[in-house]
Amino acid sequence: MANSLKSTFDSNTRLRARQRLRNGLILLVIGFSLVLSGCSQEPTNENADTQVQAPVPAYAGTIVAMGDSLTAGLGVSPEDAYPAQLERRLQEAGHDYRVVNAGVSGETSSGAVSRIDWVIGSLSPDIVILETGANDGLRGLDPGLLEANLDQLVTTLKAHQIQVILAGMLMLPNLGPDYTHAFARIYPSIAAKHDLIFIPFFLEGVAGKSSLNQPDHLHPTDRGYAVVVETVLPYVMDAIRKSSAE
């Protein structure tokens, strides 16, 4: 009986040993196969492709609309302000330019002078639409200061080979004829001095029309800005042609 039990025990022990050896060999073969097939923790080409960022859209150039609340679009949504509407019109016409809204509500021409270097350095414009001075007039500031500031702004922009479109502005008659006449002559004078592309009146077809202005009678509605874009567009097209030729 004892011999029989010993024989059975030895037989079971040998069987378990053979099973362990077989399992070990199977694991060794699997591991060796994985090495040969090049499996690793590195991402596959497919995964690597998904990590590549989408390319940044390329533009033919940058137009910066610099000005006060009339440029910023006070009272309307950003997409209805004239710079955004202008960009859409240009792209519809096949001109892949981006238009950056650099308007600051309440800004005077002195404020524009204080940030012109930032605009040039940070936005790298090819063309600048310069609309400033309305707040100078509304505050009754010396027209001579406005003229000096415009001259400095244009001189700085041209020194960086930037095409300048000067947007002319008119002042309300309640400030008196002497002031309004002095104010009105500044813009064409600066445009002639620097040989600029000149928009005689930025708000042509909009000023004084209640249907195109907000309740303050000063700032256009979205429909009013659409009219502004139609006024500005031919001058922008001229600037694009000149900028491309240089």
* Domain contains 55: no
Q: Is residue 233 pLDDT above 80, yes or no?
A: yes
Tell me the residue range of the domain where 107 lies.
Answer: 61-245
Specify the pLDDT at position 171.
94
| Tally of structural domains, the chain | 2
Same domain? 26 vs 125 = no
- Flag whether pLDDT at 49 surpasses 50: no
Taking Cα atoms as reference points, which of 110, 102, 118, 164 lies closest to residue 135? 110
69 catalytic? Reply is yes
φ, ψ of residue 62 in degrees (nearest 5): -120, 130
What is the C-alpha to C-alpha distance for residues 147 and 36, in angstroms, rounded to an integer?
79
- Token pair, residue 233, equals 């567009």
Q: Among 68, 136, 219, 243, which one carries the catalytic annotation?
A: 219
Q: 200-233 burial, b if ≥16 CB within 10 A, otherwise e?
A: bebbeebbeeeebbeeeebbbbbebbbbbbebbe
Confidence of residue 244 (pLDDT cuts 50, 70, 90): confident
Catalytic entry in 68, 69, 126, 243? 69
Query: Is residue 216 annotated as a catalytic residue, yes or no?
Result: yes
| Domain presence at residue 236 | yes
